[in-house]
Chain A
Amino acid sequence: MTDLIILPPLLLGLLSYGFTLWKGSFKIKEKVGSGLAILSSGLSLVFSLLSIGVRGRKDSLLPPWISVGDIEIRLVYYLDAWSLTLAIVSSFLTLLIAIFSKYYFGVNSHSAVYYGMIQMFLFGMLLLVLSDNLVFTFFGWEIVGICSWFLIGIYHYKGGEEGKKASLAGQKAILVTGLADVGFLLALTLLGAESSNISSIETLPAVAAIGLIVASFGKSAQFPLHIWISSTDRVDIDAMQGPTTVSALIHAATMVNAGVYLTARVISIGVGEEISQFILWVGIISAIYAGMSALGTGDLKRVLAYSTISQLGFMFIALGTLGSFAALWHLVNHAFFKALLFLIAGYLIHSVGSRRLDDLRGSVRSWWLKASLLIGAGALAGFPLLSGFFSKDLILELLVEDANWLAYGFTIFAVFLTGAYSFRILRILLGEGEQGHEDVVPKFTLISLAGVVLLSSGSYFLLIQFPWEHTPAILSLNLYMLVSVVVSLLGMIVGYYHDRLSAPSFFRVLIQEGFFVDETLVGLSVGIVTSVSKLMSFIHSRTSFWNFVQFTTATVTIAIAYYIAQYGGYF
């Protein structure tokens, strides 16, 4: 049964990739590709919805992957609230975004590749979340990584500056996440082949736990490994170079959640106090850092990307206080309202032809777009009774329960920042501007918009329908909730009237440049790798040096041989 969830995107994805090799018209290829993408994600959605209520380990019908000596690595699924929710969210959003892509990505030379990649991505994501075996989790982990690389760089076919930036951005994404993945592989190695089934691990060595968490930080773009998802306006090489639909699907709603998922699995095994504090503080730093940077950037997609980092930071804060449910809930809410905001952004960018906030000023005209934007931004900012409000409040209550007041203070500040940057873009997009032009949208793509609008406003009511292991005690009206409501409303007001405020210029430069984290890290790593490799190839090309090494070895060995022959009594 569970095989049926992951197989449609794999098989239909391979089919549609095979179709790209056919030398036919782009129009037919696009039609077939999008049709297959919609079909496969729909099938996955149906089968994962049918699996609601199924719990525990389930064997796959597929033969073992490796069986040698003592070890047998085979695909085993593990179904629980986390894996099923993520499977449902991923396949549902893939379905919506495949529909929306018909409008956004259109017909061009790469649309067939695009849809094939989307399906491969879904396959990787489903394998990642459903697999019990860490080898297969890593398999899916890397599949989504490569799909993200290729989809970020898909505009390379446009050539010129844009194409160059796109392909560099893709490479940056795979290298930064690849560096973090070293932790995953190290953990896999230390755990060994026999105990790679995560549901049967009883104790996790500290190095392995840190490795898995670092890998999660890479995938979920936590500070300072966030540089692949969002850089500064000046550098402009990041995941936002990809199509906006890809940003909505991969870099907001699904792939970046993989890290949260893995960390949740790790803390469910049990980790030490230091490690949970580590998760908590990285989450807090990312939430505040990204919140501040989002206020400084002048690019619509980049505001949303920074906001993704910040919201993922909130999920890590929840995980750091061992509040698995709050993290999952915020994850689901975030997936929907961020997908909604990205889809609106995609629509505006497609209409106006620019990502700059200055060009997009006042570009939202029609009532349905205004309403969707209000719901999306409100949910992000934590406006009372919209979805983001509940989960954010639950996270804050966890910190209160722990009496971790320092962390609580910082998190409240991050809540303030969230309100500020979301209402800043709201003001800019709704305010007066020159842009009168709006695209005519094919009616059916509005389905996807309507879907996410519905879910971002009412995900709470949807969520309590699921049979959870434990029903959270929330919606208890108390003083702390009042504090968070006031703070976030304050943030919204500040954000809405941001143009009346003026920050000191040096601070403004700092947040505009993202505190120079990107330049520093990229410059350092490129500098180190290039200089070491130049040194290596310099040494390598010194033939005389190597001849010296080789002949010295030879001479010394022969001298010893002579010594043995003379005095050792041999020969």
Chain B
Amino acid sequence: MAFLFLPLSVLTTATWLLILPIVMHLEIRFDVYSIKGVLSIVASLAINFVLGYELYTYDTDQILSPDFAGVIPSHLVEFSVTRLNLTTAFFSSVLFTAIIFYSWKYMRWETLLDDNGTYKLYYYFLMFTSFMGFQVIVFSNDAFLLFFGWEMMVVPGYALVAIRPTRHAARASYSYAIISSIGSIFMLYGISMIYQLTGTFNLDIAATMIASADLSRDFSAWFAIVMITIGVGVTAGFIGFQTWIPDAYSAATSPVGGFVSGTFTIAALFAYNNLILRLFSPVVFDYSWLFIVGGLATMTVGNFGAVVQRDVRRILGYSSIGQRGYILYGFGLVSLATSAGTELLGLTEPMVVVIYFAIGFTFLEGNLFLIIGKVLYVAQFEVNSRDIIDLRGSLSNTPHTAMMMILSALGLAGIPPTIGFSTKIMLLFIAGESGVDWWFILLFLLNSIVALIYYSNLLRILLFTKREDPLDMSMSPGTVNTAIFLVSIICILFGLAPIVIISMF
């Protein structure tokens, strides 16, 4: 049973990816277009269930490696299943399930709307491949395996951005593909430097070797750090490499935006954590200021950029840059504290707080994308525009969706009672303990006020404006509403009782 070295959820996803082409073939053969979506929902629920079960029965950390009867060294391909990995993958899969559920009717509607609908055949295939890549990144205990997962995650991303092949989408997808490929090359180069320094890809062994050798003045170690920072930074939206985000998000359809914005950020955070923080101890290599200043610059560009935008999905794209800035900033704080030897909040793994922030962001931003998707879905029939002025008052007569929109937007601005408040408070607490000067905390807080400007603008224009010719919101399918409702409930429950989620790590 050589394949059992894969984590169970990856195995489930892989199985579904093997079955999916057959389903697709049958659909074309018999000209029915509804089985694929339903079965995808079932598959995503199965992934969810597997992860939940593993989390429930978790007792110790496990290292999964193949047994090739000694022919190949077993540490070459290694997965580690820890509580942190399982929790992260579990919550990401919850959002993924919601998005797949949302996509079921939504994508069918998009297929009907376009003349040439067949290209959306690959939608689920791409989504599941990308999500499988994400899981590989999260569970990998090996630098090369991580890169493998990385490519598996981002390459479908290019196609997903252009799943609706307008001119705009094609251009956005193309620029994303180019910049992301450059990033992948950088990352690969950095990983090869790690191999050159240590002679292994295994993260545990490499970390021990780097820690035992004195590499503080070694140029190639620094070189690896910079290479990986840039390479992962393309996906993480690091300042200078953030240009693709607004274009790609405004071009992609809403469920894709909701999936890509959060999940890819978590993956980038894991890549940073595994390839930089785990291998190169900040005590020796002080790169924390790179991330703190880079994070502040990223959030400033994102937040200020969003204020004057008029395209709703572009606003979300810029807001996503801002939130990525917070996450990079948090990563910098954790490494700063590690370099000073401060024990943050008495946590053995202080990165938990940043991952918690990223998960909160994933849910809130995902929910906002789903709600905007619903608005655009309905508005297509009447105004066919993404301009916020054309969409004014579109949510003013739907109390349910309006409420959920308020919760998500306020959550992203860090206002109670949603999960966004608790994640922001936790991030602030580690900022307070990390020993960073209070000016840097003030800059972060002022940034969140700029964010409040465009979130409140969004609410004012979409919700608190009377529309003369109200849109008929009942037109949107029930599955769309259910998915939004599900994600909103998660956001509010974990906002009122964050202890439930944070004690899972």
B503 CB, min distance to chain A CBs, angstroms: 7
A549-571 near B? 1/0 per residue, CB < 8 Å: 11001100100110010001011
Nearest A-chain residue to B301, judged by Cβ: A536
Beyond the given pairs A142-B421, A207-B438, A560-B223, 18 more chain A to chain B contacts, judged by CB atoms under 8 angstroms and listed by A's residue number, are A64-B499, A66-B502, A67-B502, A68-B502, A139-B416, A146-B415, A158-B466, A159-B468, A175-B452, A185-B445, A188-B425, A191-B432, A529-B304, A539-B301, A546-B243, A550-B240, A557-B186, A561-B223
The 10 closest A-B pairs by CB, nearest first: A70-B346, A159-B466, A69-B346, A167-B464, A533-B307, A69-B347, A533-B304, A189-B432, A69-B345, A536-B304
Nearest A-chain residue to B446, judged by Cβ: A182
Question: Are B465 and A167 in contact, with the CB atoms below 8 A?
Answer: yes
Is B339 engaged at the interface, CB distance under 8 Å to the other chain? no
**26 A–B contact pairs at CB < 8 A?**
A66-B425, A66-B426, A66-B499, A68-B345, A142-B421, A146-B415, A156-B396, A156-B465, A157-B466, A175-B453, A175-B456, A182-B448, A190-B438, A192-B433, A529-B307, A533-B304, A533-B306, A536-B304, A536-B305, A537-B318, A539-B301, A540-B301, A553-B230, A557-B186, A561-B189, A568-B219
Interfacial chain B residues near A156, Cβ < 8 Å: 396, 464-466
Instruction: Select one of B227, B306, B432 contacting A557, CB under 8 A.
Output: B227
Is B457 engaged at the interface, CB distance under 8 Å to the other chain? yes
A302 CB, min distance to chain B CBs, angstroms: 22
Is B389 engaged at the interface, CB distance under 8 Å to the other chain? no
Is B498 engaged at the interface, CB distance under 8 Å to the other chain? yes
Is B45 engaged at the interface, CB distance under 8 Å to the other chain? no
Interfacial chain B residues near A543, Cβ < 8 Å: 175, 243
Is B220 engaged at the interface, CB distance under 8 Å to the other chain? yes
CA–CA, A166 and B318, complex, Å: 28
Is A204 engaged at the interface, CB distance under 8 Å to the other chain? no
**A residues contacting the other copy or chain, number (CB 8 A):** 70
Is B399 engaged at the interface, CB distance under 8 Å to the other chain? yes
CB within 8 Å of B: which A139-166 residues: 139, 142-143, 145-146, 149, 153, 156-160, 163-164, 166
Is B370 engaged at the interface, CB distance under 8 Å to the other chain? no
CA–CA, A168 and B461, complex, Å: 10
User: When A and B form their complex, what is the total count of cross-chain residue pairs whose Cβ atoms lie within 8 Å?
Assistant: 176
Interfacial chain B residues near A384, Cβ < 8 Å: none
Is B50 engaged at the interface, CB distance under 8 Å to the other chain? no
Interfacial chain B residues near A142, Cβ < 8 Å: 415-416, 421
Is B182 engaged at the interface, CB distance under 8 Å to the other chain? yes
Question: Are A20 and B223 in contact, with the CB atoms below 8 A?
Answer: no
Question: Are B421 and A71 in contact, with the CB atoms below 8 A?
Answer: no
Is A65 engaged at the interface, CB distance under 8 Å to the other chain? yes
CB within 8 Å of A: which B397-433 residues: 399-400, 403, 410, 415-417, 421-422, 425-426, 428-429, 431-433
CA–CA, A366 and B471, complex, Å: 48
Instruction: Select one of B219, B226, B429, B442 contacting A71, CB under 8 A.
Output: B429
Is B2 engaged at the interface, CB distance under 8 Å to the other chain? no
A411 CB, min distance to chain B CBs, angstroms: 33
Is A523 engaged at the interface, CB distance under 8 Å to the other chain? no
Is A532 engaged at the interface, CB distance under 8 Å to the other chain? yes
CA–CA, A109 and B452, complex, Å: 28
Question: Are A63 and B499 in contact, with the CB atoms below 8 A?
Answer: yes
Instruction: Select one of B300, B305, B442 contacting A182, CB under 8 A.
Output: B442
A539 CB, min distance to chain B CBs, angstroms: 8
Nearest B-chain residue to A192, judged by Cβ: B432
Is A263 engaged at the interface, CB distance under 8 Å to the other chain? no
CA–CA, A550 and B426, complex, Å: 33
A360 CB, min distance to chain B CBs, angstroms: 28
B482 CB, min distance to chain A CBs, angstroms: 15
Nearest A-chain residue to B502, judged by Cβ: A68
Question: Are A530 and B465 in contact, with the CB atoms below 8 A?
Answer: no
Question: Are B442 and A175 in contact, with the CB atoms below 8 A?
Answer: no
Interfacial chain A residues near B196, Cβ < 8 Å: 570-571
Is A171 engaged at the interface, CB distance under 8 Å to the other chain? yes
Chain B contact residues, majority secondary structure:
helix
Question: Are B466 and A163 in contact, with the CB atoms below 8 A?
Answer: yes
Question: Are B438 and A186 in contact, with the CB atoms below 8 A?
Answer: yes
Is B281 engaged at the interface, CB distance under 8 Å to the other chain? no
Indicate the member of B226, B304, B468, B503 with the most A CB atoms within 10 Å.
B304
Question: Are A71 and B417 in contact, with the CB atoms below 8 A?
Answer: no
CA–CA, A142 and B503, complex, Å: 25
Nearest B-chain residue to A193, judged by Cβ: B429
Interfacial chain A residues near B450, Cβ < 8 Å: 529, 533
A208 CB, min distance to chain B CBs, angstroms: 9
CA–CA, A537 and B319, complex, Å: 13
Question: Are A71 and B396 in contact, with the CB atoms below 8 A?
Answer: no
Interfacial chain A residues near B242, Cβ < 8 Å: 540
Instruction: Select one of A63, A145, A186 contacting B441, CB under 8 A.
Output: A186
B213 CB, min distance to chain A CBs, angstroms: 15
Is B246 engaged at the interface, CB distance under 8 Å to the other chain? yes
A157 CB, min distance to chain B CBs, angstroms: 6
Is A179 engaged at the interface, CB distance under 8 Å to the other chain? yes
Interfacial chain B residues near A171, Cβ < 8 Å: 456-457, 460
Instruction: Select one of A149, A159, A530 contacting B308, CB under 8 A.
Output: A530
CA–CA, A98 and B432, complex, Å: 42
Is B497 engaged at the interface, CB distance under 8 Å to the other chain? yes
Is A382 engaged at the interface, CB distance under 8 Å to the other chain? no
B461-505 near A? 1/0 per residue, CB < 8 Å: 000111010000000000000000000000000000111001101
Indicate the member of B223, B449, B464, B499 with the most A CB atoms within 10 Å.
B464
Is B211 engaged at the interface, CB distance under 8 Å to the other chain? no
Given A167-B460, A533-B307, A546-B243, A65:B497 Cβ within 8 A: yes
Question: Are B428 and A188 in contact, with the CB atoms below 8 A?
Answer: yes
CB within 8 Å of B: which A52-102 residues: 63-71
CA–CA, A125 and B432, complex, Å: 27
A1-45 near B? 1/0 per residue, CB < 8 Å: 000000000000000010011000000000000000000000000
Question: Are A178 and B441 in contact, with the CB atoms below 8 A?
Answer: no
B119 CB, min distance to chain A CBs, angstroms: 27
Is A381 engaged at the interface, CB distance under 8 Å to the other chain? no
CA–CA, A540 and B303, complex, Å: 12
Question: Are B182 and A554 in contact, with the CB atoms below 8 A?
Answer: yes
CA–CA, A188 and B415, complex, Å: 15
CA–CA, A185 and B414, complex, Å: 11
CA–CA, A537 and B410, complex, Å: 23
Given A66-B422, A174-B456, A186:B416 Cβ within 8 A: no
Is B293 engaged at the interface, CB distance under 8 Å to the other chain? no
Interfacial chain B residues near A17, Cβ < 8 Å: 403
Is B283 engaged at the interface, CB distance under 8 Å to the other chain? no
A549 CB, min distance to chain B CBs, angstroms: 5
CA–CA, A139 and B442, complex, Å: 19
CA–CA, A186 and B456, complex, Å: 22
Is A170 engaged at the interface, CB distance under 8 Å to the other chain? yes
Nearest B-chain residue to A552, judged by Cβ: B240
B64-90 near A? 1/0 per residue, CB < 8 Å: 000000000000000000000000000
Given A68-B352, A530-B307, A533-B304, A178:B503 Cβ within 8 A: no
Is A339 engaged at the interface, CB distance under 8 Å to the other chain? no
Question: Are A554 and B422 in contact, with the CB atoms below 8 A?
Answer: no
CB within 8 Å of A: which B294-316 residues: 300-301, 304-309
Is B241 engaged at the interface, CB distance under 8 Å to the other chain? yes
A569 CB, min distance to chain B CBs, angstroms: 10
Indicate the member of A135, A163, A540 with the most B CB atoms within 10 Å.
A540
A181 CB, min distance to chain B CBs, angstroms: 8
CA–CA, A549 and B246, complex, Å: 18
Interfacial chain A residues near B179, Cβ < 8 Å: 550
Is A365 engaged at the interface, CB distance under 8 Å to the other chain? no
Instruction: Select one of A153, A534, A550 contacting B182, CB under 8 A.
Output: A550
CA–CA, A188 and B305, complex, Å: 28
Question: Are B446 and A71 in contact, with the CB atoms below 8 A?
Answer: no
CA–CA, A191 and B431, complex, Å: 11
Nearest B-chain residue to A170, judged by Cβ: B464
Given A68-B503, A157-B396, A164:B465 Cβ within 8 A: yes
CA–CA, A546 and B452, complex, Å: 27
